[in-house]
Amino acid sequence: MSGESGFLVSTGVWENAQLFILNYGTNSLEVLEAIHESNSKSSCSVLMRIIHQLLDIVRNWILEQILREDNKKADQMAKIIFDRGEEL
């Protein structure tokens, strides 16, 4: 874990994400939704760091490119980030 792990544990997000993976497997969409719901008040940059750390730990994930028209949920998440004007 990086030097930020204390912060992540103190927010409860890191623990929630780890427990979700242990309880429900490693379906990426479900994990992302659980992380987002457990930390809806945090900035998106913190959320992105958490996701990156999880991907480093769970190395058997397969990432695929999905066309925009095939993934409306991802489009909605991206729109939220850009509407807030936050940088990733």
pTM of the predicted model, to two decimals?
0.28
Nearest to 58 by CA among 22, 10, 7, 16: 22
Per-residue pLDDT reduced to its tens digit, 6-61 = 444 434 555 555 555 555 555 566 666 666 666 555 566 776 777 777 777 766 66
pLDDT band at residue 2 using 50, 70 and 90 as cut-offs: very low
Is residue 81 very low, low, confident or very high in pLDDT (cuts 50, 70, 90)?
confident
**How many angstroms separate the first and last alpha carbons of the chain?**
20
Residue pointed to by tokens 């769970």:
58
